[in-house]
Amino acid sequence: MPPAHPFDDDKLKEECGIFGVIGLTDASNFVALGLHALQHRGQEAGGIVCHHPDHGFNSARRFGYVRDNFTKQSLMETLPGPLAIGHVRYSTAGSKGQTQIRDVQPFFGEFAMGGAAIAHNGNITNAEALRRELIERGSIFQSSSDSECIIHLMARSLQRTIPERMEDALRRVEGAFSVVAMTRTKLIGVRDPLGVRPLVLGQLGDGWVLSSETCALDIIGAKFVREIEPGEMVVISDSGVDSRFPFRPQKSRFCIFEHVYFSRPDSIIGGRSVYETRCQIGVELAKESPVDADLVCPVPDSGTPAAIGFSQQSGIPYAMGIIRNQYMGRTFIEPTEQIRNMGVRLKLNVNRALIQGKRVILVDDSVVRGTTSRKIKEMILDAGAAEVHFRIASPPTAWPCFYGVDTPQREKLLAATMSEEEMRQHLQVDSLKFISLDGLYRAVGEASGRNKACPQYCDACFSGDYPVAPSDQIKNGFELKAAE
């Protein structure tokens, strides 16, 4: 499914969101609600697998939004039982933008000891090598997704139980993974040893919930219990929650971009409100890169909390200089080039009466290719702004992510080929400043900034410091950053 307009095409995309429920009547209904709350993590497709003691496993996979598929009673009645998992997808691995229904998770496999389904958030950086090995040994793949490797590795494991087979399989996997899986009687959650991608545990009555984010617990009224630890596997059954640590312990490297953009602002990460962290990013940005201006305006919606923080710190009034059309659908008839060129205006419009004659600070979360930034700048100038200053709530994105985020090739990233001043000239704005990497670390609670010797987060998209070597990409010619 193509983006609705160019604005969507100039943002980094999280790969997916995962959600699972055990111990609740009609668990699939709760999973559908949870996936709806995680829709920002993937809009291409979604799927649910459930189990009922009398009816066995059932599944449904659909293209498009959760609200357009998993709200229909006729469909939900085919997904009975007290145990279910679900997945919303935006493709990174697999056929980007050309998703086949067979690529839509959760994936299901039938093993000697019974069936199991698995949903995965992240990217396996040695998937190509694993796939070649498995195919040579007789495995038959149904999808182009790297996640299917996990099912085949489980099938070939000699361990006796499905959780043990999953441990065995995940020890072969490199990269980033948060996994929600299920058997006939168990709900399983796992995070990779670095904890790059998020996963949380919640409780609702006698039932248990696993989710990518806390906002999805809120929608079903579940109580947040705790985050699944990096390298932890939880196996949840009628007996309760069993926790184990099957991997060699490593220092956590959680994805810092979850704080900047991916997570919903009403989620809690590491005990911190995402909204408050983003406001603090704006505060740090105003300290590092002050500028005389009349208005601080967010690029909606992702720039809003940082713009509020920037305004509070600088004393420059906050204003809604750009208005977002909340009813912009995912598709739009684009019969002519003239209409296509209106892409950004279909979603965003300048508040002309407010902007005219003003020196405007535009706060956005990131600059990827720069195409949208140029279009927004042109809209602001067309509305009569005297000056346009960009302030960006993340450091320059100069490196692709291989851990579950859809990033353009490095040469298409503006910051990979241009200095900050060159980017300013390219965007044709009065000033352009990004938050520093240390400033971002301070905003997320690291008072002394980034520990260069042992970074506290995964920040590879900014620094080129990859905590797990992307082995498939290196074999295909990708060059890592030279050691400093």
Give the up-direction half-sphere exposure of residue 169: CA atoms within 13 A in the CB hemisphere.
Answer: 27
What lies within 8 Å, CB to CB, of 251 at 6+ separation is 194, 454
Q: Which two tokens stand for residue 291?
A: 């500028």
Active-site residue, 16 included: yes
**DSSP 8-state class, residue 249:** -
User: Among candidates 356, 353, 375, 355, which has minimal Cα distance to 364?
Assistant: 375
Reduced to 3 states (helix: H, G, I; strand: E, B; else coil), residue 66 is helix
Round to whole Å and give the CA distance between 443 and 305. 12
Reduced to 3 states (helix: H, G, I; strand: E, B; else coil), residue 482 is coil
Q: Which residues of 341-379 are buried (b: 16+ CB within 10 A; e: fewer)?
A: eebbebbbebeeebbeebbbbbbbbbbbbbbbbbbbbeb
User: Among candidates 260, 230, 85, 246, which has minimal Cα distance to 157?
Assistant: 246
Cα–Cα distance list, 399 to 57, 252, 312, 471 (Å): 41, 21, 32, 16
Q: Which residues lie across from 108 on neighbouring strands?
A: 117
Please list the active-site residues. 16
